Amino acid sequence: MQEVLEFFQRYQREFDEQNWPAFAALFHEPAFSVRGDGSVMSIPTHSEGERLYAAVAHTWRSEGYAKFEMQDFEVLHMGGDSRLVSFDWLMLREGGQLIRRWRQSYQLIRTPQGWRLIASTFHRD
């Protein structure tokens, strides 16, 4: 559990600091995301992930996003080298006011370079 928490703390930190090369390196090549509307988005390379998440962060910053927090972790072991991790994201303004909250699940796999995110799924309400 500690390794997974540390992975997502790094994931959050790199995103909040807009360190796109380090953030994208946390993903497997390729990776994919199941969006809230059920559509599937492919992230074939790290460089495409960098561009995608820089654009996402730009949009969220226009909405007041300053940082993220995470709550309510659940971790399911799927063999020795895979985890399904679910938790709530809290998107916050500079003063800590909540902009929005959602639940998301991630599948991680262990690679020679460490844990890598291969898939994410947004939960619908």
What are φ and ψ of residue 78, in 5° steps? Answer: -120, 70
Low-confidence ranges of the chain (pLDDT < 50): none
Would you state the pLDDT for residue 75? 96
β-pairing verdict for 114-122 and 27-34: parallel
Q: Can you give the CATH number for the domain in which 27 is found?
A: 3.10.450.50
Residue 120's nearest CA partner among 1, 20, 10, 39 is 39
Distance CA 48, CA 32 (A): 12
- Render 34-101 in DSSP notation, one character per residue: E-TTS-EEEE-SHHHHHHHHHHHHHHHHHTT--EEEEEEEEEEE-STTEEEEEEEEEEE-TTS-EEEE
| pLDDT value for 20 | 96
Domain containing 72: what range?
2-122
Measure CA of the first residue to CA of the last residue in the chain; give whole Å.
26
Q: In this predicted structure, what is the pLDDT of residue 1?
A: 82
pTM of this prediction? 0.92
The structural domain count of the chain equals 1
Give per-residue pLDDT as tens, 49-63: 999 999 999 999 999
Condensed to tens digits (0 to 9), the pLDDT of residues 20-40 reads 999 999 999 999 999 989 999
Structure confidence at residue 78 (pLDDT):
95
